[in-house]
Structure 1
Amino acid sequence: MNKPQTIAVLGLGHLGSAIAKRLAGQGLDVVGWTRSIEGDPNEAVAKADVVLLCLFDGAACREVLDRVQGSVKAGAVVLNTSTVAPAEAAELARRFGPNYVHAPVLGSVRAMEAGAVHLLAAGDAEPFDTVRPVLDALGTVRRVGDAATAAALKLVANSSLAGAVLALRDAVQQAEELGLARDEALDVLEIGQLGGLAARKRSFLTQPPTASAAADAEFTVGALAKDMALLAGASAKPVPSAAELADAAGDPGADIAVAITTPAVDEAVLEPLRAYIRGHATGDPAHFREAFLPTAHVEGIRDGAFVSWPLDQYCSLFSGQPAVDEATRTRRIDSVRVHGTVASASMTLHHGPDTFTDIFLLVQTEGRWRIANKAYHRRPAG
């Protein structure tokens, strides 16, 4: 196995810079280039044995490779560590044939600096042997069947990270609602299933954000949201974290910890839902008129038939008095997701022998939130 003489690292963001420093620290000859600074990438790749890409997405990979393809010397290997869609990875593999190795990275900037990342590498035997010293210098290598598989596995791995970020966010928000000190809550969270993430992000979670927060990011909200959008597109299945992360922080360049520290849902969004609960608790339809827009409809299956009631008809079902078994009834807001001026919410209601799941669409209009429509499902006892 011959060690490559020169590696051109194209893309010197947070991870790309860590890759370049790691390789140089391992005695490899590295030349770098970044799109954010004027310079000719053709000069960087002209003498390189390995052209290593560490770029934001598939579009950036295509743009940069279009610029340099004519300068890549014969026999050089394109080593792509970027996170792209499976179809994009497959297209790049077809474009460069046997001289392409796809090797997305599992791990943070800190892990890269320590040579502790994992790389999912796909490529033919000869080019893989060429880049093996580079991969070994960065971390642990796991070979997979082809470029599309490597890309898909990376997205699945990041899906678990997105889930952990949002689960930790929910735990932190609930701790705040319960009046717990942030440090005390994190002490306990570090013991549990989210312990690794809580420990790694503790400094971000306990210190006020600074002007250098984006510069210190290990993995950005924007990058993780992009990866979840790629996963949703590739799988054709809903990936809720794609929308949640996109809405979680105003600065896509901030560390993923910013998504963990987003405030709980604003009280203004909850107010129409609470008015709805008051309507059921009291039997007073005035609370429903406060909660709903006048144009709202309530829809579901009643006595085996689909019903779609306008608000007036729905309100007519209530007598103005609580149900006789009101003391045993419970209602719980399960989820609220806000997307600008619209939101969705769900609620569980235990009413006597029946359990209802209510799904709401809310809109912000004339300075307040109202329920635009409700659909429900009734689960009878037994």
Structure 2
Amino acid sequence: MKNVLMLALAAAVIATPAAAQAPAHAHAGHAAHSAHPAPERAVSAEEAEVRAALQHYLNGHATGLGSEFAAVMHPEMKMMFIRDGQLTQRTSAEYIAGTSGRPAADESQRRRWIESVDVTGNAAVAKIVLDYPTTRLTDYFTLLKIDGEWKIMNKIFHAEPKTGN
């Protein structure tokens, strides 16, 4: 029985295309960290919709326009993070109200990208990286498809100061 299971497992690995086995971390606008980047994988229509919705979030950071964030953040969205060792919360309205309406002075030195998206039905999770001159932020989102539109429902993040700045 053990040999049969081992043979079945080996056959499954051999029959699985390399693209399906490779990690799905390659993405547009961001260089792979390996000398041999993972092959591109097909993106489902739903994942493409989630990525298009998240582009509003990225555009909001690039432009400072609250309207970009409002286009993707659900009015009931909550953001939670740790500040000075304490759990801190902010609503989407508070987040949007804090926008400047213009790009950051160091915008040309900032990079940001969608690291990953995982979709099941009308629910999705996503990871976005914001690589700024003095800080690297990693955002995690939950999204729902509501009335045909993907909306950010929750956001948590981690900010890591860069050393040597």
Shorter-chain TM band: 0.7 to 0.9
Aligned to 2:20: 166
Partner of 2:125: 344
Change in 2 beyond 3 A, CA 1:330/1:158: same
Alignment of 1:236-247 (within 5 A): none
Instruction: Name the amino acid aligned to 1:349.
Output: L
Q: Which of these residues, 134, 141, 158, is aligned with residue 360 of structure 1? A: 141
In structure 1, what residue type is equivalent to 2:80?
E
Give the 3 Å change call, closer, same or farther, for CA 264–105 of structure 1 in structure 2: same
Structure 1 residues 312, 264: closer, same or farther in 2, change over 3 A? same
Q: Is contact 2:19–2:40 with CA below 8 Å preserved after alignment?
A: no
Tell me how far 1:167 sits from its aligned partner.
3.8
1:28-107 matches, cutoff 5 A: 80=1, 102-107=2-7
Q: Give the distance between the partners of 1:107 and 1:165, measured in 2 at CA.
A: 22
For 1:257, the equivalent position in structure 2 comes to: none
Instruction: Indicate conservation of the 8 Å contact 1:361/1:371, yes or no.
Output: yes
Aligned to 1:268: 49
Contact 2:24 2:116 in 1 (8 A): no
Percent of aligned pairs sharing the same letter: 29
Q: Structure 1: where are the runs of 5+ without partners?
A: 1-79, 81-101, 109-153, 178-191, 195-259
Report the residue type matching 1:166 in the other structure: A
Superposed CA RMSD in Å reads 3.5
Per the alignment, residue 229 of structure 1 pairs with: none
* Greater share of residues in helix: 1
Aligned to 1:85: none
Whichever residue aligns with residue 86 of structure 2, its letter is: A
Deviation at 1:362, TM superposition (A): 0.9
Partner of 2:98: 317
Name the structure 2 match of 1:287. Answer: 68
Give the C-alpha shift of residue 327 in structure 1.
Answer: 0.8
Whole-angstrom CA distance in 2 between matches of 1:161 and 1:381? 43
Map of 1:215 onto structure 2? none
Deviations 1:155-192 (A, max 9, x none): 9x968987955245859x97xx8xxxxxxxxxxxxxx8
Kindly tell me: are residues 170 and 307 of structure 1, through their superposed partners in 2, closer, same or farther at Cα, counting changes over 3 Å?
Answer: closer
Query: Where does structure 2 lack aligned partners over 5 or more consecutive residues?
Result: 29-35
Between the aligned partners of 1:380 and 1:161, the Cα distance in structure 2 is 44
Larger radius of gyration: 1
The within-5 A match list for 1:230-241 is: none
Q: How many aligned positions are there?
A: 154
Aligned with 1:320: secondary structure? coil
- Contact kept? 1:169, 1:262, Cα under 8 Å: no
- The 3 A distance-change label for structure 1 pair 159 and 300 is farther
- The alpha carbon displacement at 1:286 in A equals 0.9
SS in 1 for 2:112: strand
Is the partner of 1:299 in helix, strand or coil?
Answer: strand
When residues 375 and 303 of structure 1 are mapped into structure 2, their CA distance, relative to the original with a 3 A threshold, is same
Give distance in 1, aligned partners of 2:13 and 2:80.
Answer: 34
Question: Residues of 1 paired with 2:146 and 2:124: CA distance?
Answer: 12
User: Counterpart in 1 of 2:156?
Assistant: 375
